[in-house]
Structure 1
Amino acid sequence: MAWLHFVVWGPVYMGIGLALAWWGIRGRKNGLPGGRLSVVTFATGLLLLIVGIGLRLISGPFSLRLDIPTEFWEWYRDYRFIVPLLLGILAMSVLALPVRARTGRGTANLAPRTPLSFTNKWWLITPGLVLSLIVTLTIAAGMASEPDARTGRYTMYFVDTGGGRSMGTGIYGWFSSLPSLILLGIMMVVAAIALFLIARPALNDDQEQDAHTRIIRTSNVLMVGTGALLWHLGLIFGSLAATASLRGNFSTSQGNVRSWTTFAALEPTLNIASIVAPALGFALWGAVTLSAIPSRRRALVAGRP
């Protein structure tokens, strides 16, 4: 029972713990200014965490205790891989708001502003690596998948056991991966548009404060997107771990024959990765939520007469 609790709630506890540690070390010194922007950011991050916790609950063994409609469970089982990506796209769209209109009160700056103007180039390494890993695993699993004889969907993985026999189990095949690849492309476009909308308007008279705010907003967009990618990656790891666990024992005239998948040795690693990846995703979403808390130093400066 303790292991089941860790599998279901471990990523939540670890993610929130990492987010609080980050906020205690650096985050509380670099919070957003108060107002509508902070409210929108806090609500978006909190909603992501709540939905994420809910999905952990219904997708784990404790879902058996819940009265979940069969239709919903079957839908989530088939389309669970796209849920984190949809959440990421929606959240990034919200974090691009409010879009400040260009007015004559802005400070003139001849340097062109691009979607990367307020981005630390190092921030792009993590999402780039995660995205590359997702695409690699997606293509590999898709090519290994075969159609289900009952539904025709590419969701099955078969192992030839010899003698005209085979054994099979589910895998992250083309049925799930093709929609995910489409959403990954949409997510990249939405992220670029969100960063453009944040960077494009002219700076306020207080250029330092405005630039600081835009840096945090840009970071939040990237963290939300990366968190969604990590959550999606965790589901892929979990699916591949379940596939790798396939074992078979058959009796023949020459004795018992045991069969397993070609990547069975990776099962423990895949299981651990399926916990670590969503934990890091939770940490990023938690960091976005905590960034809405105004920094104490800036609050004091703003309150001086």
Structure 2
Amino acid sequence: MQQWIIILWELSPLILGGVVAVGVWLATRRHGTTPLRGRAGVLAAIGGLVPVVSCTYSVVRITPQLLAAMGLDAGRGVQEAQFLIPLAAGLVALAVLCVPGRRNPSASAAGIARRTAFTFLSSGWTVALTAIAVVTVALSLAAGLASVPDQAGNYTMLTVQIGTMRVGTTIYGWYYSIPAMALLMVLIGTAWAGLALVARPPLGDAREQDAAIRRTRSRNIAALTTGAIAFHLAAILGSLAGTSRLGGGLATDAGVINVGSPFAALGSFLSASSFMATCLGAVLCLSVALTAVPRTARARQHTIKTAP
């Protein structure tokens, strides 16, 4: 029973994110993004679900409290996996989304306007993706600079001086952050390549419909990339929240002096931020999967009536 309670608690941000994603889709389906049909829709559904399923798996298998309840040890490999799984899942999902659509035999190369990878992507998505990537890298660098080598020489520890002694705990140091940042760069590069693959082929005869589909596909690539980074950021924030609990006491003639980590006061904020980042990741990735759901007849009629 205890294990199920832990699992439900750890999965609560994913469940909340799923509820929000469905709610937003229901509220905007009449005038939202153009649904994808056929192979593109199937690939969008698969791609959007891959990061969520992977995050769910990692939460269930990697949660320290759950491992302790099962009598297992959260070793270094387990800790490292929680940071890399979201990015690796994002890469797999991007590979699915970037599968080229069927070529339109009526598409003509004549009169092709110069298009970049961002032609069909709104500037808001570019800003959001850049912002979350910058925050993630900044936290990785800050945690890396605060880390010190462990007994094996790997930068995985944070230590605090208490009198003549030192107490320490693990931190998201260089040992974890350097491989993750390298994978993050690969993820962003893959997203850029995917956007280019969507944008550059010539438009078909039904130019407006083709452009709308490309806007949806470009939006899906940006949303999925942002969602995968959000899951990764949630793992970082959760780890730092655990690190912030480091503390100890020094007995003196005047009493006990309590010493904690440099960011002990941010513990609750980091935990809440990790929860929100997980929710955000679930909302974004599931919104990609929901673009495969066709509009109802009423929604299609509403779109036709409101079309210019």
**What residue in structure 2 maps to residue 160 of structure 1?**
161
Please give the per-residue CA displacement for 1:63-113, whole angstroms capped at 9, x wherever unaligned.
456697x7x965232232111111112211220112445856336443211
The TM-score with structure 1 as length reference comes to 0.89
Number of residue-to-residue matches in the alignment = 297
- Residue 298 of structure 1, CA deviation: 9.7
Distance 1:159 1:275 in 2: 27
Distance 1:52 1:66 in 2: 20
Q: Secondary structure at the match of 1:237?
A: helix
- Residue 46 of structure 1, CA deviation: 2.3
The 1:153/1:240 distance shift into structure 2, 3 A limit, reads same
**What residue in structure 1 maps to residue 108 of structure 2?**
106
**What residue in structure 2 maps to residue 84 of structure 1?**
86
Distance 1:205 1:58 in 2: 50
Q: Secondary structure at the match of 2:35?
A: coil
What RMSD in Å do the two structures reach over aligned CA positions? 2.5
Equivalent residue in structure 1 for 2:50, among 43, 47, 51: 47
Equivalent residue in structure 1 for 2:61, among 58, 61, 73: 58
Pairs within 5 Å for 1:90-129 = 90-101=92-103, 105-106=107-108, 108-129=110-131
User: Structure 1: any 5+ residue segments left out of the alignment?
Assistant: none
Please give the per-residue CA displacement for 1:213-247, whole angstroms capped at 9, x wherever unaligned.
11000000001100011111111111111111111
Q: Choose between structure 1 and 2 for higher RCO, CA contacts under 8 A separated by at least 6 residues.
A: 1
Matched, 1:23 2:25: yes
Identity of aligned residues (%): 32
- Residue 5 of structure 1, CA deviation: 5.7
Pairs within 5 Å for 1:1-305 = 4=6, 7-27=9-29, 29=31, 30-60=33-63, 61-64=65-68, 74-101=76-103, 105-106=107-108, 108-149=110-151, 151-162=152-163, 164-252=164-252, 255-297=255-297
User: Structure 2: any 5+ residue segments left out of the alignment?
Assistant: 302-308
Q: After superposing the two structures, state which structure 1 stretch, 100-109 or 47-56, moved more.
A: 100-109
The TM-score with structure 2 as length reference comes to 0.88
Please give the per-residue CA displacement for 1:121-140, whole angstroms capped at 9, x wherever unaligned.
11111111111111111111
Q: Secondary structure at the match of 1:111?
A: coil
The 1:254/1:283 distance shift into structure 2, 3 A limit, reads same
- The residue type paired with residue 287 of structure 1 is S
Q: Secondary structure at the match of 1:294?
A: coil
Contact 2:51-2:228 within 8 A present in 1 as well: no
